[in-house]
Structure formats: C-alpha cells, structure tokens
Amino acid sequence: MTKLSVNINKVATLRNARGGNNPDVVQTAQDCERFGAQGITVHPRPDERHIRYQDVLDLQKVVTTEFNIEGKPNARFMELVSQVKPTQATLVPDAEDVLTSDTGWDTIKHESYLTDIIQKLKSQGIRTSIFINPEEKFIEGAAKVGTDRIEFYTGPYAQQYGQNKEQAVEVYARCAKLATNLGLGLNAGHDLDLNNLRYLKEQIPNLQEVSIGHALICDALYYGLENTIQMYLRELQ
C-alpha cells in the first residue's frame, strides 16, 4: 500500500492568518496520525509564511510516523534537518518568492551540488528524496547524485487529468519504470486529490508515498479531517 503523508502547511497558514495557536499545528499532526495518516510532511520556507521553524522542532517531539521535511537545502534548512533528523528530507529547488513548488531539479546542472547535500544527509541516517519533473534525463541524473528516492512533481498530471488521463499519466508511468530499474524509490506530490489519486496509483503500482496537503485540508472543511484521511487512504488501497 502506498503511504499517505499529510502536509500540514495549510493548517499553519490558517493559524498565522489570525495569530495565536488556533488551529494547533502540533495537535493537528497528532490527530492526522490517530486518524490513519502514515506520515506528516512540512515545508518550512524562509519567510515562515506557514510552517515555522519552531513548529518543526515542536513536531519532532510528537510525530510517531514518518516525518518528512521538504525545502530548498540552504544553510538554515540543512541546520534544521540535521538537528531534527526526520525520516526523510525532500529537497526542492524553490525560489524564495515562489508561491508553491512548481518544478523539479535539473539533476544534470546541479549534479555536484546535490551529490554533496545528499551525502551529508545520508551520513546522518536521513533518507533523501528529490523533487523532480518526469523526464528521463533527470531521472538518470537523480540516480547519479545518490538520492534514495525521487518525488514526482505531479502538477502537470493533475492539470491534464480532466482532459485526457491516459496521456496525462503516460510519462509518469514510463519514468517510474526507469526509476525503479535504476534502484530509486518513488514518491509523488502536488495537486493530487480524491479525483486523480486512484488512477495515478493504478498506473504506478510501486509508488511508495504521496504527500498531500492543500486538497486534503480543503476536503476536510466539508467531510471532517478523520473522514477525509480515510477517504484518501481508500483511494490508495
């Protein structure tokens, strides 16, 4: 079964909009786990507009499933990850002013940089994953830099799903086979929801983890958090 890691950034966004500690990010993470989530994902950004660096330290004390920290591996991010030692660090090539992650690594251009970062993380026992577009050359580059896993950027899949789902998933399925042949584990994330998740899972049966935040939290407004998590889990079975 593909694991569901709930990204709780949007919970922090709601909290920060009003100040105080409502909703409580730490309690939400614990509830997500209690409701069946197999992982918690956070993506602290330099401006701390949603998850704050202190949130990550607080979550470290309570998360009992897989803890996944995403972000651009600048000095502050690397210091945080080295201190927390999560289950997984997902490296994302975000510009500092980007609204949301919108592309993956050029693993050819950044081969030396990524190799160095990944070696540092793996030496601390931290599983590594890199955010990547579904292109064969970047998959091959990912294998060269030594990452444990790749996380497919699934924004284009989600955008095309309604028009032609077979065409939308074809490149992902092809790249998934290549990645598996190269010994890479497979994660996926971005714009996955209750409409398009099951089909992606069917076409990539060896998908190990999906990270879902925005859509899941939006659905929870209507269905409730516990019920929503169970709905997503059913799509992955």
The residues that are catalytic are 43, 70, 190
Does 23 sit behind a cis peptide bond, omega within 30 degrees of 0 on the bond before it?
Answer: yes
Closest CA to 30 of 49, 50, 52, 11: 11
Report the C-alpha dihedral over residues 26, 29, 30, 36, rounded to 10 degrees. 180
- Going from the C-alpha of 127 to that of each of 24, 52, 88, 89, 130, the distances in angstroms are 28, 22, 5, 6, 10
Tokens of 194: 């209750």
Contacts 24+ apart (CB under 8 A), 83-87: 83/57, 84/56, 84/57, 84/60, 85/124, 85/125, 85/126, 86/60, 86/126, 87/39, 87/126, 87/127
In the DSSP assignment, the letter for residue 49 is S
